[in-house]
Chain A
């Protein structure tokens, strides 16, 4: 027998062994199906998800030749089109009353819609359509395409689209509350109400920085971050740019704005042009000073660094969204002795700006900058609204801490326990307005156990120490 013949024989032998082990497995064990299959429409969605749940099969712990007999679970479904049509491979649209799984279900002909590994008891079907009714079944799967009998859910469920996400109701309430306060103060300022705003050192320094650049005959560099105009930080940066441009126009300083996005460039051009026009200096406006470098983060950083080193601006402003480039830019400007003012809402970059810049607008100060610099009463009113928002947030924080502390300390007082649950799950979580009944029952049961153990403890008893 030659080498080819030998290989052929070994191949045949292996195939025979494989066939025998598969056969012997099928003969050795019959997988039990999972139990308690149930289906729920996923709440607060647009009707595109269904949650299938079950209890694990009794065969989970079974071993065959030292290996796990149950590999996972396969999920099957039937659909009845009661609403919009559904087109999906391997499904037969039938009337709602007709959907069901036959006793002699053909596992080879029908493809499962999904599968999960052993131990799992949940599957989210993300490919359903609102208005259609679905019936689900789950089968345990073993090696060699073996299946347990199907465990069919008790009833079919219709996928429903919710018109409002109840889980976010508290978020909406708090947001509306703060928004109304802000709008109220804007209206108050519009009516001529007096708004007092504390001085912000970083913003007071804008005039100083631009004035210094004018005296030194050097340009002012404004960096509006590296994100596009759809980011609120870039919008805030552009509004600060409007005010810096006004000051530059007044002092006749040269303002340079390299951008990382084309749309930011066009917006910045419009803004700066309007500022120069407003100050009666349209002749001093040079469109070429506001230019696009690149979208690439470090390519842009290198470009701005080059501008800094070659043109040595006397003042550098960083207003917008920054990432790792923040310190590279600030340290380079520091090395050329520029006065630097930074403002960002990226918490991870704030320490770098604080360390390297002369002034830093931290978070809310950055968003307050345009209102502060514009001195527009309506915009200043929004700042007052923000302050009230902070008071509300602080009051909620203190109240939350107090309730959480009392709930831990007085663990048999139902009111505090429920209040803590409500704050965690409803106000900060996604339970909506009504507390979860199951969790309330658990709290009641825990309190009952605690009270019982207290009643059984002998008076004056300790741990024996």
Chain B
């Protein structure tokens, strides 16, 4: 009971409190790093358990001729070939300082058989698995975006806008709606630079009284520039332009990503943070002991 419950619970509580302390007390940072190193050593030792389990399981599959036993054979072959080549540094070039000792070669040396297995075996296989994700996304999206009910229809509509807003087709589809550039293009060439400078500031939320163009503040603008500044402010800052410009798909996409998406994401993050605090406390206080298994 003491060995299987009390001591592990005590270690969990101690390390848990220590890891919290490392965040607030600079002096304990090294202790936290030491605790993590101990975990890494433990995990490395446990690798032997994992490898042993892998061997036993696959050997029993082969000996029992279980369905798919051929795959077990491939797994074991790959395991031993990689292990032997890596462990004995077969084909790797020793360092120049100890040219006769093959063991001085780096573990992963460019051009060595071990590197070759990694570069031309593991990496392409991993990339293949990752590439399959594209097709799975398509099939999942196809199911998720079927307009079965109101919620699914909303999801479909939102996804449609966001997808279109990310590609040129979206920009092209709503190209007729006004932008600052299209507004500026309506002015004579001599005034365009000035209108653009005012428009950019108004768009960024700068009040007209604080607008400065070419070192000249709004209060000091005279004649045509004064009139143009007011006209640009009224148009770019006006609700009509704001509405139409906001309906452009690329802008609508950005609003969806910045407002409802971000709000929802942050709500989830707050819930996750509270869940982590709660779960950690349960482990540290020993309220949740299910991960320890049986006391018998």
Alpha-carbon separation in the docked complex, A389 to B129 (Å): 41
Is the C-beta of A374 less than 8 angstroms from some C-beta in chain B? yes
B129 and A302 form a contact (CB under 8 A): yes
Q: State the CA gap A362–B274 with chains docked (Å).
A: 13
Q: How far is the CB of A336 from chain B (nearest CB, A)?
A: 14
Q: Complex: how many Å from CA A364 to CA B272? A: 5
Chain B interface bracket (under 10, 10 to 19, 20 to 34, 35 or more): 35 or more
Q: Would A382 and B208 be within 8 Å (CB), given that A178-B277, A298-B129, A366-B275 are in contact?
A: no
Does A228 lie within 8 Å of B43, measured CB to CB? yes
**Complex Cα gap A347–B265 (Å):** 7
Write the B260-296 contact mask toward A (1 if CB under 8 angstroms, else 0): 0000010011111011111111110101101111101
Query: Which residues from chain B contact A274 at a C-beta distance below 8 Å?
Result: 290, 292-294
Give A65 Cβ to nearest chain B Cβ, in Å.
Answer: 32
Q: Knowing A179-B281, A298-B126 touch, does A266 contact B46 (C-beta < 8 A)?
A: yes
B275: which A residues are within 8 A, CB to CB?
A: 236, 345, 363-364, 366-368, 386
CB-CB under 8 A from B46, the residues of chain A are 261-263, 266
Residues B129 and A178 in contact, CB atoms below 8 Å apart:
no
Chain B 140-177, CB-CB to A under 8 Å as 1, else 0, gives: 11011000000000000000000000000000000000
**One of B51, B226, B276 near A345 (C-beta < 8 A):** B276
Interface contact A379-B287, CB-CB below 8 Å = yes
Give the residues in chain B near A230, CB-CB below 8 Å: 36, 39
A393 at the binding interface (Cβ < 8 Å): yes
The answer on a CB contact under 8 Å between A175 and B49 is no
B137 interface hit (Cβ, 8 Å): yes
Q: How many Å from the CB of B157 to the closest CB on chain A?
A: 16
- Does B42 lie at the interface of the complex (its beta carbon under 8 Å from any beta carbon of A)? yes
Q: Is B23 an interface residue (CB 8 A)?
A: yes
For chain A, the bracket of interface size reads 35 or more
- The docked-state distance in angstroms from the alpha carbon of A389 to that of B71 is 50
**Majority secondary structure of chain B interface residues (helix, strand, loop or mixed):** helix
Chain B residues near A292: list those with CB within 8 A.
49-51, 53-54
* Minimum distance in angstroms from B58 CB to a CB of chain A: 10
Residue B99 is within 8 A (CB to CB) of chain A in the complex: no
A464 contacts partner chain B, Cβ-Cβ < 8 Å: yes
If A178-B274, A363-B271, A386-B275 touch, whether A161 touches B27 (CB-CB below 8 Å) is yes
Contact with B along A354-372 (1 / 0, CB 8 A): 1110000011111110110
Using known A-B contacts A163-B27, A239-B291, determine if residue A263 contacts B42 with beta carbons closer than 8 Å: yes
| Contact, CB under 8 Å: A238 / B291 | yes
A150 within 8 A of B: no
Interface pair B272/A328, CB less than 8 Å apart? no
CB-CB < 8 A to A345: which residues of B?
A: 272, 275-276
Q: Cβ of B239 < 8 Å from any Cβ of A?
A: no
Decide if B276 touches A367 in the complex (CB within 8 Å): yes
Q: Which of A66-74, A164-172, A202-210, A422-430 contacts B (4 or more CB under 8 A)?
A: A164-172
Residues of B within 8 A of A262 (CB): 43, 46-51, 53
Mask, A28-60, CB within 8 Å of B = 1, is 000000000000000011110000000000000
Residues on the A chain within 8 Å of B226, using CB: 464
On whether the beta carbons of A464 and B230 are closer than 8 Å, the reply is yes
Confirm or deny: B7 has a beta carbon within 8 angstroms of a beta carbon on chain A. no
User: Given the complex, which residues of A lie within 8 Å of B139, measured CB to CB?
Assistant: 331
Query: Restricting to A176-214, which residues have a CB under 8 Å from any CB of B?
Result: 178-179, 182-183, 186
Closest to A241 in B: B290
Chain B: which residue is nearest A245 at the CB level?
A: B290
A331 in contact with B136 (CB, 8 Å): yes
Instruction: Report B147 CB to chain A, min CB distance, Å.
Output: 15
Contact of A328 among B129, B208, B285 (CB under 8 A): B129
Q: Which residues of A contact B29 (CB under 8 A)?
A: 46
List, sorted by A's number, 21 A–B pairs whose CB atoms are closer than 8 Å.
Answer: A46-B30, A161-B26, A182-B281, A261-B46, A266-B49, A269-B293, A270-B292, A270-B293, A273-B294, A295-B50, A298-B126, A301-B129, A364-B271, A364-B272, A365-B271, A368-B275, A370-B290, A383-B278, A386-B274, A389-B274, A463-B218
- Say yes or no: B285 contacts A172, CB within 8 Å: no
In the complex, which residues of chain A have a beta carbon less than 8 angstroms from the beta carbon of B188?
none
Select B26's contact among A162, A263, A370, beta carbons within 8 Å.
A162
Tell whether A459 is near chain B: CB-to-CB under 8 Å.
no
Query: Is B67 interfacial (CB 8 A cutoff)?
Result: yes
- Chain B contacts with A in 204-251, Cβ cutoff 8 A: 208-209, 218, 226, 230, 233-234
Q: Judge whether B122 is part of the interface by a CB distance below 8 angstroms.
A: yes
Residue B125 lies at the interface, judged by CB distance under 8 Å to chain A? yes
| New A-B pairs, 17, CB < 8 Å, besides A263-B42, A306-B68, A385-B278 | A165-B26, A182-B281, A183-B285, A262-B47, A262-B49, A292-B53, A324-B133, A327-B133, A331-B136, A347-B265, A352-B137, A355-B143, A356-B140, A386-B274, A463-B209, A463-B230, A464-B230
In the complex, chain B residues 56-102 whose Cβ is within 8 Å of any chain A Cβ? 57, 60, 67-68, 71
B140→A386 contact, CB < 8 A: no
B120 contacts chain A at the CB level, 8 A cutoff: no
* Complex-state Cα separation, A87 to B279, whole angstroms: 45
Shortest distance in angstroms between A208's beta carbon and chain B's nearest beta carbon? 21
A277/B129 in contact, CB under 8 A? no
> Is the C-beta of A98 less than 8 angstroms from some C-beta in chain B?
no
Task: Sort A-B residue pairs by CB-CB distance and give the 4 closest, nearest first.
Answer: A270-B293, A367-B275, A262-B50, A364-B271
Q: Does A278 lie at the interface of the complex (its beta carbon under 8 Å from any beta carbon of B)?
A: yes
A362 to B68, CA, bound (A): 35
Interface contact B276-A168, CB-CB below 8 Å: no
**Quick check: is B189 within 8 A (CB to CB) of the other chain?**
no
Q: Which residues of A contact B291 (CB under 8 A)?
A: 229, 235, 238-239, 242, 267, 271
B131 to chain A, nearest CB (A): 10
Asked if B272 contacts A379 (CB within 8 A), the reply is no
Nearest neighbor of A269 in chain B, beta-carbon distance:
B293
CB contact between B25 and one of A164, A278, A334, A389 (< 8 Å): that residue: A164
- Whether A362 and B271, one on each chain, are in contact in the complex, defined by CB atoms closer than 8 angstroms, is yes
Could you say which residues of chain A place their CB within 8 Å of the CB of B269?
347, 363
CB distance A465 to B234 under 8 Å?
Answer: yes
Inter-chain contact A271/B67, CB cutoff 8 Å? no
**A277–B295 alpha-carbon span in the complex (Å):** 11
Q: Is A310 an interface residue (CB 8 A)?
A: yes
B26 in contact with A347 (CB, 8 Å): no
Contact across chains for A363 and B272 when beta carbons are under 8 A apart:
yes
State in angstroms the CA–CA spacing of A168 and B49 once bound together.
41
Contact A306 B26 (CB under 8 A): no
CA distance A364 to B30 in the complex (A): 31
Whether A327 lies near B137 (C-beta < 8 A) is yes
Instruction: Give the residue name and chain of the B residue nearest to A305 (CB).
Output: B129
Query: Which of B27, B270, B283 contacts A46, CB < 8 Å?
Result: B27
CB pair B290–A238 under 8 Å, yes or no, is yes
Interface positions, chain B 1-58, Cβ under 8 Å from A, are 23-27, 29-30, 36, 39, 42-43, 46-51, 53-54, 57
